[in-house]
Amino acid sequence: MNMNIQDPAVVKKFRRTVYIFFKNNGRYTLPWRKTKNPYRILVSEIMLQQTQADRVIPKYKAFIRKFPTVHTLAKAPLSEVLREWQGLGYNRRAKMLHQGAKVIVEKHGGKIPLLYNELVELPGIGDYTAKAVRVFAWNEPEVMIETNIRSVFIHHFFPNKVAVSDENLHPYMGEFLDKNNPREWYSALMDYGSHLKKTIPNPSRKSKHYVSQKPFKGSDREIRGTILRSLVSRSKSLPVLLKELNFPQDKIKRQITALKKEGLIVIRKNKAQLP
């Protein structure tokens, strides 16, 4: 678009649009927005990966009650962590969070690292999550992108483009970033983007990085989740597990092997159980 994004008037107008929406429609009640505790922010960011906020709220509250500090999480057996995680899916995230807590206790004295380079060294922490922790816990100005943020910038600045890359968006994000209060700015962007996706054709579909969600029914994700849920209460023999799960046995066996390899279940004497 023919727009000078360095023009103060352009910056002011765009920020005003985002902040007015946030003032009138912001999701201020989200529990992770009521804290600056780095541990709680980290938990929420891991939970929110590929998961809707409404689904995360009750699980986040229950998880924090069960594991109120990074020390309690690090000391807990993985089986307890997986039990609390049930219902969120992508259970490997729970294992990475648990491993990360151990590293934080052992290497950082139980304090969530502030530095980006130290955050991305933790298990399961990528570029976005490290920056999000820095933004929401310490109000550090970072240029970061996720699906809702991406939707806002594509909608406003690339409405007639397709296959828009994140590299195209970064200059806009950098210029419009509210460096005085990045915590509020990103909360506002995310809520505005979520609103756009519900009210107009999803702008993020124009992104070069857009990947459509595969159906959950009958997927490997469903099978993995069903296996773990079946083992929450007690261990089960492999024949019993294969019999009670309503999926093709070859697919169940394949996911049992994968879960064992990832350390999410263990097999002892032909019985499967949580670690």
Residue 130 and residue 41: Cα distance in Å, rounded?
11
Long-range contacts of residues 208-213, Cβ cutoff 8 Å, at least 24 apart:
208/163, 208/164, 208/165, 208/166, 209/150, 209/165, 209/166
Sheet holding 236-237, edge to edge: 236-237, 271-273, 266-268
205, 162 in Cβ contact below 8 A?
no
* Tally of CA atoms within 13 A in the half-sphere of 200 that contains its CB: 15
Q: Is 181 helix (H, G, I), strand (E, B) or coil?
A: coil
Quick count: other Cβ atoms within 10 Å of Cβ 160?
6
Residue 28 and residue 228: Cα distance in Å, rounded?
34
The residue whose two tokens read 């390899």 is: 261
178, 185 in Cβ contact below 8 A?
yes
Q: What's the CA angle centered on 159, arms 158 and 164, to 5 degrees?
A: 45
What crossing angle do the helices spanning 182-199 and 127-138 adopt, rounded to 10°? Answer: 120
Catalytic residue, from 45, 84, 142, 146: name it.
45
Decide if 45 is catalytic: yes
Lookup: tokens for 147: 């699906």
149, 128 in Cβ contact below 8 A?
no
For the annotated catalytic residues, the residue numbers are: 45
